[in-house]
Structure 1
C-alpha cells in the first residue's frame, strides 16, 4: 500500500511539474510577443549601435499609442476626373513579395562584385489595407531627348514590373481635392494624409501652384541648349566618401542631390560643393542641426540653384513649407519662432520649394523597400530620407550616380564622412538600412544606377 501511495505521489508530482513547465513556455512566448513592439518606442534605436545614417525621426509617443490602424476596406479609385489612378490588381501581392524577399545574399559579396540574388519565395496572403498598392497616375517626365534612360532600361530588368513610370513624385496645389484627401486619409505618416486634415491642406499646398513645383528638374530646358541625358549625382553622408577624392566628379553632374546633415565646407575635395536639390523633413532638419552642429552643419545649403524638397512626415512640414514660400513665421508648432529665411536664405520663394507625394513614398515602401516587420510597425516605419532622395532621382533623371550610400563593407568606414573619429554605423527601427543597402546592390547590378564602392 505504501509503495502504491509513493508511486501515485511521484506521478502527480511529475505531472504537476510538466504542467508548470508548459505554462511557463506559453507565458514566455506571449510575453515576448507583447513586448516586442516596445523596443520601437525607445528612440527607435538598437542597443548595439550609436548613430544612424540620418537623425532618427521621433514621432510623438502619444500619437504612436493612440493612432488606430486604417479601417480595412478595398482601395477606391480617385473621384477627380482630371486625375487618373493606377491600380495594381493582378500583380500586387507578387510584387510586394518580391520587394521583401529578393534581397541579395551579401555573404559572398566584397563590395565590388554584384550580389547573388536569392530566388523569390511564394507570395504571401492578401496584404493589409494600410499597404494600399493603388496610386495616382499623373506625373510627366521631362523631355530631354535622351535615348539611354533609366526608364528605357528598367523594363528589361527584374525591376520592370515594380517600376511605375508615371507615379507622381511630387504633390502640389492640383492635388488638394476632397476626393484625394478621402483616398489618402487611409494611410498614416508620410505614406498618406491620415494626420493631415483637409483644412490644413487647403491652407498650405496651394502655394505650390506652378510647373516648378511638380517638376523635380524644373530648370532643365534653361540649362540645356542641346538634347542630352540629364545626369544626377545623389550624395549620401556615409563615411565611405572620406578621402575618396570624388568632389570634382560629383560637381560635374547636371544636378547634385544631398540630404540632412550635408556638410560641404572643408570637405569639397571628397564630396563636392554644389547642391541643386536638398531633401529633408522638418524633423530630420532640426535633428541634423542639433546633432551635427559641432561638425559644422548650420542648416540647409543656400545657393541660387538649390531647390528644397520636403519629405512630409507631419503637419509641421506643410506649415514650414508655406512659411518659407510666403516669408512669414510658421503658424504653430515647434518651428513657430524660427524665420524660414534664416534657414533657406532671403531669396527663397515658392518656385524653389517642392514636396514629395504620399503616393510616391508608399509606392517605394510597397515595391522597393518593404520591411519584414511592416505588420507591427506600419505607423512608424518609412524609407530613409536618403533612400527616398535616391529613388526619386532614379524616377526622374536619365542617369544616376550614387555616392556615400551604404555598401556591404560599411564596417570599414565611419558613420559619416565628416566624423572626426571613427563611429559605428547605427541602425534604427523606423528604417531598414540593410534592406536599403541590398537594394542599392541590386540596382547597381541591374545597371540602373552607378553606385560608388571602394575597390
Structure 2
C-alpha cells in the first residue's frame, strides 16, 4: 500500500511539472512580452536594431519638457494623430538593416529584422553618383569613423516622378507622417510628383555644373536659427560657401552681419512655414526667402504639403485642405518653376530617424508624431549631398546661455516638445563635429582661437 501511495504521489508530481512546463511554453509563445522569470529564471532581453550607436551613447537624452503640454503649439490645435499601421514590412527591391555595428560597412541586403513594423528600416536604393571628385569629401571620411555603419549613400534624398508607382504606394502607405505615404491618396501623389520630372527635381544641388567654377569640393553652410548666432559676425563666412541652407523662421533683414544674406535652399513643411509666418511676424519674418538662386525643399509631413507643391508648380490656387484657396506665389514668388521645387523622400526621413535619431519617444504613444526636427533633416541632407558642411545656429551643450532664436528681442529659453528629440540631435552634432564630418560653430571654440 505504501508503495502504491508513493507511485501515485510520484505520478501526480510528474503530471504537475508537465502541466507547468506546457503552461510556460504557451506563455512564452503567445505572451512573449511578459517576462517568464518564474519559468526559466532570469532572462536577458535580446538586442535589436533599435539599439543603434546613437541610442547607446545617448541613454539619458530624453526628458519630458517643463511645459504644461507635451505637444508643440503646431500640434495642439485640432491635430488628429494618425493610427499606427501594423502591416509587416513587404519584400521589395530595397535593402534592410538588422544591427548597425559602428566602424564597419555592413552589407545590409537580405538581413532579417525583428523590429516593430512602424520602424521600417527598409528603403528604396538608387545608384547615386557623386557630383565631384573631392578627395576630402564626407563620403570618403565617414568610412573611417564609428558612424560608418549607420550611413547609407544610396537612399534617395528627394522624391520625384519616377518614384510614384502602385507598388511603392503600397509599401510606403504603412508609414505615417513624414516617414511614408500613409493617408495620402495615390491620385494626389501622382498629380504632384508627376510634375517633378527633371534632373533638377532629384538633385538637391542641381546647378552645381554652372556654380562650381571648377571647384574640387562642394562647400555648404547650413544655418539654423539658434540664439548662438547673435553677435557672431559670421555673415560673410556663411555667404562665402557655394550653398547656404536655411529653414522655417529664417529672418535675414537686419541680421546679415551675423547670419549672411544668401539662401540657396529653404527647407520647411507647410505646417512649420505657416506657423513661422504667424509666430515670428513681429520679429520680421514675412515668408520664405526669395531670390533667383533659392530652391524650396518641402518636408512632407501631411497631405497638405503635396497639395501646396502641386499648386505651386501649376501656378494655381490650393484646391483643398487648410490652405484651400491660397496662392503659392505669395510664398515662393511669381516666377517659381518646377525646377526650383523639391521634396524630401519619406524613405530618407525615416532612414535619418532610424539610423541617426532613434529616440526613446518611438517606444511611447507619441511614436507617430516623432520625427527629426526640420533643421536636423536639412543638416543631414547636406551631410549626404555636400562634400564639406559647416553648421551654424544649431544647439550646443551650452545652449542655456543663449536665447531660442538669434532674432529674439527678449530672452526665451529653448522649448522641448515630444515630437522632436533636440537633446539627441545636439549629441549627434557633437559626434559629427568630433568625427570631422561637419564643422559646428561653437562660441567656446571662437573664444579659444582668439586667445
Q: Check whether the contact 1:57–1:430 (CA below 8 A) recurs between aligned residues.
A: no
Deviation at 1:59, TM superposition (A): 7.5
In structure 2, the CA distance between the partners of 1:331 and 1:48, relative to structure 1 (3 Å rule), is same
Partner of 1:166: 154
Partner of 1:232: 220
Structure showing greater relative contact order (alpha-carbon pairs closer than 8 Å, 6 or more residues apart): 1
Partner of 1:70: 85
SS, match of residue 132 in structure 1: coil
Partner of 2:59: none
Partner of 2:66: 48
SS, match of residue 156 in structure 1: coil
Match of 2:313 among 309, 325, 350: 325
SS, match of residue 80 in structure 2: helix
Q: Which whole-Å CA distance do the structure 2 matches of 1:75 and 1:56 have between them?
A: 35
SS, match of residue 63 in structure 1: coil
Partner of 1:399: 388
- Normalising by structure 1, what TM-score? 0.78
Q: Report matched runs for 1:375-394 at 5 Å.
A: 375-376=363-364, 377-394=366-383
Q: Report matched runs for 1:36-185 at 5 Å.
A: 48-49=66-67, 57-58=74-75, 61=78, 63-64=80-81, 67-78=82-93, 85-88=94-97, 92-94=98-100, 126-138=114-126, 140-185=128-173
In structure 2, the CA distance between the partners of 1:139 and 1:278, relative to structure 1 (3 Å rule), is farther
Deviation at 1:278, TM superposition (A): 0.1
Q: Check whether the contact 1:415–1:423 (CA below 8 A) recurs between aligned residues.
A: yes
Structure 1 segments, 4+ long, off by >6 Å, are: none
Match of 2:406 among 400, 409, 417: 417
Partner of 1:244: 232
User: Unpaired runs of 5+ in structure 1?
Assistant: 1-44, 79-84, 99-124
Q: Report matched runs for 1:331-350 at 5 Å.
A: 331-350=319-338
User: Unpaired runs of 5+ in structure 2?
Assistant: 1-62, 103-112, 445-451
Q: Check whether the contact 1:374–1:381 (CA below 8 A) recurs between aligned residues.
A: yes
CA offset digits 1:229-277 (Å, max 9, x no partner)? 0000000000000000000000000000000000000000000000000
Q: Which whole-Å CA distance do the structure 1 matches of 2:77 and 2:199 have between them?
A: 34
Partner of 1:283: 271
Deviation at 1:375, TM superposition (A): 2.1
Q: Check whether the contact 2:72–2:419 (CA below 8 A) recurs between aligned residues.
A: no
CA offset digits 1:375-425 (Å, max 9, x no partner)? 222211000000000000000000000000000000000000000111111
Deviation at 1:94, TM superposition (A): 4.0
Aligned residues: 372
- Normalising by structure 2, what TM-score? 0.79
CA offset digits 1:59-97 (Å, max 9, x no partner)? 875631xx332224243114xxxxxx2222xxx2446xx
CA offset digits 1:357-390 (Å, max 9, x no partner)? 0000000000000111202222110000000000
> 2:440 aligned with 1:451, yes or no?
yes
SS, match of residue 234 in structure 1: strand
Q: Which whole-Å CA distance do the structure 2 matches of 1:50 and 1:266 have between them?
A: 34
Q: Which whole-Å CA distance do the structure 2 matches of 1:193 and 1:74 have between them?
A: 14
Q: Which whole-Å CA distance do the structure 1 matches of 2:220 and 2:65 have between them?
A: 36
Q: Which whole-Å CA distance do the structure 1 matches of 2:207 and 2:100 have between them?
A: 38
Q: Check whether the contact 1:50–1:423 (CA below 8 A) recurs between aligned residues.
A: no
Q: Which whole-Å CA distance do the structure 2 matches of 1:233 and 1:141 have between them?
A: 22
Partner of 1:430: 419
Match of 1:260 among 241, 248, 259: 248
SS, match of residue 419 in structure 1: coil
Q: Which whole-Å CA distance do the structure 2 matches of 1:141 and 1:258 have between them?
A: 25
